[in-house]
Amino acid sequence: MINRKIKSFVLDSNQEFIFAGNLSGQILSINSNTFSLASQVQAHPGGIIAISAHLTLPYVAVLGMDRSVSIWQVHNGHRLEFVSRLITRDLTPCNDPYEFAPILSVSQALAFHDTERRLLTRSGNAGLLELSFESDELDVVKCVRVHGNYDIVTTRFVNYGDKVLSGSNTGQVALSYHGEVENKWQFGRETIHWFEHLEDDIYLLASDTRCVIRLDISGNHEPVVGPLFTRDDLEHVHYNKISGRAFASSFDRNIYEFDPYTCKPLKVVFSAPFKCRWIKTLEQDPDTMFVQCRNGGLYKVSLNTGQTIGVIKETPPALWTAAQTAHDEIILAGEGNDAIRLKAKGATSYGWTPILKTYVEKIPGKPMAYTKRLVVQETTGTVLFGRTDGILAWMRNSQTGIVCDLNSPVRDLALSKTYSEVFVATEDGRLRKIHIESGQILVEIRSINNQPIWSLAYNDTRSLIAFAEREGWVTIANADKLTTVLEDRDARRAKRMKWLDADRLLVVRSDELYRIDLNTGEKTLLVKQLGNTIEDFIWDTEKRYLVLINYQRNIILCDLETGNILNIAPDQMDYSKGMIWLSDSFDVGYGYDFLTFGRDGRLHLFRIHDEKVLSLGSVSIDR
């Protein structure tokens, strides 16, 4: 299986060609003027998470998810010839006080020296690794630990010299010289993604704290920490030295222009269909920007108009959300305007595997947007779709319409089983209760922490609504007036929450799952440290098994009562965003079959058997 989702890119020093790395380990050489593919090469047996071009020499470096680094020589502007590869998995820092096990990382730490045949990256267990390739072989110069137990996410050489900047996944920045740390700074507790040189000893930092930081590493000026202005992780900053304009990309799908001296936002220059990371502009044509979008596409954009000039995208529409209906079917939605009905047409005789058939219908909304969450009203069969264009749409008996336009991307929906209202969380930090038939907003509250609200869960028995901020609080409120009943002031990346029963709420906290007991107010850890954020979780009707998916593309099978891990299995090449039981919807097949779905646009079928997760293959959607 080949997945051509573009994960990273870089412009060559002449800005004539783009080198882009994809999920299947290929490097694409793209003419920046014609925006067409010039050549390609298979570089790694795994996704390419970062790619770097040498400023003065004809080389490209690649960092792969196979935990190796490779060097390629550039011929005729775009043709790549393999030079050397080094597996970094088992390299260890010389100053480790004890053994650190290798970790699976999505670090983008990769940077050439500006003039020499040297390269910075990370070791498999998060050491700062310097390599040389003087003899066309990658050799280790030094490997040191500078950020303790935490991962290195980005690094670079300073001003053509030997000093090194590195940033961790906990907001720490280090300046080191020949492996010795000279200075450290702490900026919040979230990931530092990038250092962009501004002038002299001053750098612009991209931080997941949703702001840009201006750092003078000489110490002559205090750091400038800009205001929060993105609604999600701030992934990358870029400065065009010709135009003097600075830009930031975010997982909130926007590209912002900001003042490089005050770090304050100026305006949104481009709105992408999905979250973004890598951005670059041309020095000879500063109006032209290239944007890597996590839907797998690379976009060429005019900054003057904010419009797309060209797109290179070879990935199917992603799937984001699913729910079962009262008609023995599952309905799914995601990227674009498709609503997909999934029905079972029986089961195989040899493996008792469900035979699934898909049917596609259209829903209202902008084609470049996607459905983040859908819910089904059991009494009427109405399906509600919360979309990133702010549209709350409905479908009933193949009829469609719009409930209302909320003017902010919808993050989550929660629906009462017996009433005619829907609760809607949006990225502007608002929670609204909306009458479905009229579209009238009945009650509205706003995050007092100025945080996007990420997840909702409705308790039908107690008439309570629980909601969680991106970073901030988990609140349980009365569903009538949205007045607070209980607060937990320790929310972090709470992508999902669900009521286990009338008294107990399960809520994600980054890579962990907690249980909150309404009767006692007690919060207990149920599943601990899965390595990256939990994207979704489900449990079976007998309440024996808890199944989770996370951002490491794993499926984790647990005991629901204790949280003990029974089995961990790989999910798919790309990230899953949701999961749903088949046995709850279809009276065919095995009793413990479930689907995962996400960015690759396919349905992946799994079965719990002998307390292990078994893959039964994938289901394509005929669009």
pTM of this prediction?
Answer: 0.92
The CATH number of domain 1-84, selected from 2.40.10.480, 3.40.50.150, 1.10.10.10, 3.30.70.1290: 2.40.10.480
> For residue 1, is pLDDT > 60?
no
Ranges of CATH 2.40.10.480 domains, the chain: 1-84
Domain spanning 319-536: CATH superfamily: YVTN repeat-like/Quinoprotein amine dehydrogenase (2.130.10.10)
The per-residue pLDDT for 285 is 97
φ/ψ of 113, rounded to 5, equals -70, 150
Cα 126 from Cα 152, distance rounded (Å)? 6
CB 394 within 8 A of CB 413: no
**Region 26-55 average pLDDT:** 98
DSSP letters of 413-477?
Answer: EEE-SSSSEEEEEETTSEEEEEETTT--EEEEEE-TT---EEEEEEETTTTEEEEEESEEEEEEE
- DSSP for residue 180: E
More confident residue, 597 or 348: 597
| pLDDT at residue 492 in the model | 92
Comma-separated ranges of CATH 2.130.10.10 domains in the chain:
319-536
- Tell me what the mean pLDDT of segment 176-187 comes to: 97
pLDDT at 349 over 70: no
Q: Are 575 and 569 in contact (CB under 8 A)?
A: no
Q: What is the pLDDT of residue 462?
A: 96
Q: 562: Cβ–Cβ under 8 A, 6 or more apart, which residues? A: none
Residue 141: left (phi > 0), alpha (psi -120 to 50), or beta? Answer: alpha
Q: pLDDT at residue 350 above 70?
A: no
What are the residues whose beta carbons fall under 8 Å from the beta carbon of 98, sequence distance 6 or more? none
pLDDT at position 354 = 75
pLDDT mean over 346-358: 73
Tokens of 331: 């309905």
The number of CA neighbours under 13 Å toward the Cβ of 280 is 21
pLDDT at 290: 99
Choose the weakest-confidence range: 96-105, 330-339, 550-559: 96-105
| Lowest model confidence (mean pLDDT) among 167-181, 470-484, 571-585 | 571-585
If you average pLDDT over residues 446-464, what whole number do you get? 95
Average per-residue pLDDT for the chain:
95
- Say whether 393 sits in a helix, a strand or coil: strand
Q: Is pLDDT above 70 for 324?
A: yes
Q: Are 28 and 10 in contact (CB under 8 A)?
A: no
In this prediction, residue 388 carries a pLDDT of: 97
Which amino acid makes up residue 59?
Y
Q: What confidence score (pLDDT) does residue 619 get? A: 82
Nearest Cα to Cα of residue 523 among 550, 483, 494, 551:
494
pLDDT tens across 370-394, in order? Answer: 999 999 998 888 999 999 999 999 9
Average pLDDT over residues 218-237: 97
Per-residue model confidence (pLDDT) at position 391:
98
Give strand pairing partners of 289. Answer: 281, 301
The pLDDT value recorded for residue 566 is 98
Do residues 408 and 430 lie in contact, with contact meaning Cβ atoms separated by under 8 Å?
yes
Radius of gyration of the chain (CA): 25
In tens, the pLDDT along 83-115 reads: 999 999 999 999 998 998 888 899 999 999 999
The token duo for 360 is 């596609």
pLDDT, position 589: 61
**pLDDT tens string 533-554:** 999 999 999 999 999 999 999 9
Confidence of residue 326 (pLDDT cuts 50, 70, 90): confident
Closest CA to 401 of 347, 362, 454, 374: 362
For 404, half-sphere exposure in the C-beta direction (CA atoms, 13 angstrom radius) is: 19
Spatial distance between the Cα atoms of 597 and 2, rounded to a whole number of angstroms? 17
**322 neighbors 330 (Cβ within 8 angstroms):** yes
Compute the average pLDDT of residues 6-28. 98
CA-based nearest residue to 545, from 531, 533, 534, 556: 556
pLDDT, tens digit (0-9, with 9 covering 90-100), for 579-600: 999 866 566 667 799 999 999 9
Q: What is the pLDDT of residue 313?
A: 96
